[in-house]
Amino acid sequence: MQTVVSKWDTPRYDALGLSSDGKAIWLYREGGFSSLTSFDGGATWHSFEATRMQSTADNRWRAEPVSQMRCGNQEPACHLLRSDDTISKIVLQNSSLRLAQINALEIPLPENEYFTDAVFTVSDNGEKVVVVSSEVRRASVSTDAGKTWADYPMGADGYWYKIVVSGNGNSLAAVGEDVLSFSHDFGISWKAIDPVGWDEQIDFCWSKDANVIYLFDDEHLAKSTDCGESWSQYKVDHMNQPVCGIGNGYIWTKNGHFEIAPTGDYNGE
């Protein structure tokens, strides 16, 4: 096991995003109004105030990363932020941050009262959009940047709080309280997983091609090598704040430290 960050002032966070090479890290602090970024795998950190970002209509941003999006070979990582009236892209590039309001990503959401607390993701080219409202059984999908929408069943109820895109950009996972639902065609068809007896705050890691999936809460760890068709389950103790995405491994915080283990090597110690 390797400690990649020894300790910093507050280990609590709302969300964490990582570039595919594991060097660019985007960390939101408690409350979602400020963040830390690192461009060298956690060796040094830079602070960034998310509240400084405003939309063109001068509306405050909802200071939380609602999706992670790959930005091409020249940009290691970027994230989407939603304001009251638009979607913009935050780009982590080299040793600096820049805010890019991309017209192609000013996507109108479906006209539905239930989309106030929705989570969503957008494809690399901005054409495909998937929106999932809290406590509903369907996903709204657009393939033309929000001009038209269609609804598709997700197979389960749940308070959905994020959507994650796989490394190859083809698969999605909607994460809810004690339920997950996977899609391998960007939101058209879904398969729900309801781990009986697991903690409500479940999360997962998956390989770049989305075939290998790790599912975990603070006491359980399960592995699938066939896109969730079958599972092997293990008992673990106190996996505090697990997240994932660095290289081929997964990462979590424990006793104020970030720790990483290669895929398949976690032994619960």
Q: How far apart are CA 216 and CA 199, in angstroms?
A: 9
Is residue 151 within 8 A of residue 126, CB to CB? The reply is: no
- Whether the predicted pLDDT of 267 surpasses 70: no
- Whether the predicted pLDDT of 40 surpasses 80: no
Q: pTM value? A: 0.58
The rounded mean pLDDT for the chain is 61
Going from the C-alpha of 33 to that of each of 14, 39, 103, 255, 256, the distances in angstroms are 10, 20, 24, 24, 21
- Whether the predicted pLDDT of 5 surpasses 50: no
The one-letter amino acid code at 26 reads W
Q: What is the mean pLDDT of residues 138-155?
A: 84
DSSP 52: G
Is residue 69 within 8 A of residue 102, CB to CB? The reply is: no
- pLDDT at res. 188: 93
